[in-house]
Structure formats: C-alpha cells, structure tokens
Amino acid sequence: MGRPPAYHHRPTRQRLARHLEKVAQTGRLADLLHVIDNPVEGQRDAIGFAEAKRAHAVVAGELSRLAAEAMQRGEHAAGLAGQMSACFATLVAVAASLAAIVVLG
C-alpha cells in the first residue's frame, strides 16, 4: 500500500477531519485507515478540487478583465481631458479675438 492521498478540496478535508475525530474515538486502526485511504473520497476530492479551480479561474479572469477596463478608462479620461483643454483654448482664442476686434474696432 502506498502513501495515503493528500486531500486538496477544503470541504472534503473538513468533512474527513470531522469523520476522523469520530472514528479515532473507537480506536480501530482499520477504520481510521479506511477514512484516510478511501478511493471514493479521493475521487470526490478530485472532482471538488477541479470545480474549485475552475471557479477560481473564472473569478481571476473577471478580475483581470476589470483591471484592463479600469486602465482603458484612465486612458479614455486622459483623451477627453486633452479634447476639453483644446476646446477651452479655442474659446479663449475666440474671446481674445473678439476683444481685439472690439478694442481696435
């Protein structure tokens, strides 16, 4: 018999820990070994862990997308600020021209 499996799925580990506590009170080594080295639990753990990894990947992807959008928003805001300053400069130039026309008349 090889090394007992390492469980990765947190809910599986928690459930097995509770079960191990109950079985440990009986003092029967065979029952303890059955809890630790159980192929059905190993399969459940693998399935649960795979689902957790997929969910994590979805969340990580969404966070990356939101970060990229935030970066683009900053660039867009900078572009709008440049356009607004150009419009303001044009208005100032028009106002100066009108003032010169009025003064020089």
- How does residue 41 score in pLDDT terms, banded at 50, 70 and 90? confident
- Give domain status of residue 43, yes or no: yes
Q: How confident is the model at residue 61, as a pLDDT?
A: 94
- Give domain status of residue 93, yes or no: no
Q: Which domain covers residue 14, as residue numbers?
A: 10-79
- Give domain status of residue 37, yes or no: yes
Mean pLDDT confidence for 22-37? 88
The count of domains in the chain is 1
Closest CA to 7 of 49, 54, 55: 49
Distances (CA, A) of 50 to 15, 17, 41, 56, 63: 17, 20, 14, 10, 20
Mean pLDDT confidence for 8-36? 88
- How does residue 76 score in pLDDT terms, banded at 50, 70 and 90? confident
Tell me: pLDDT of 29 over 70.
yes
Mean pLDDT for the chain? 87
Mean pLDDT confidence for 7-28? 89
- Give domain status of residue 99, yes or no: no
- Give domain status of residue 91, yes or no: no
